[in-house]
Amino acid sequence: MPCRIEGALGHAEACPGESCPFWEAGRATRRGRCAFAKVDLDSNHDVAVLLVQVRRMLEAARAR
């Protein structure tokens, strides 16, 4: 499954799934998903750029 955020920027990158800080865990009746699954990122390029930056900062903080 491709990453929606990276896809909005024209990058073909696999969705990191549960390791992504924007991943919403699933419940018994629903699988996990991207927190931005219903957001139109294709027409919001600036938002997609910001989300990639925030995701990288959160991933770096988690690694420390």
pLDDT in tens, 4-52: 999 999 999 999 999 999 999 887 667 889 999 899 999 999 999 999 9
pLDDT at 60: 92
In the predicted model, is pLDDT for residue 1 greater than 90?
no
pLDDT at 28: 66
pLDDT at 31: 84
pTM, rounded to two decimals: 0.81
Class of residue 63 by CB neighbours under 10 A (exposed 0-12, middle 13-18, buried 19+): exposed
At 59, the pLDDT band (50, 70, 90 cuts) reads very high
Spatial CA neighbour of 12 closest among 1, 25, 22:
1
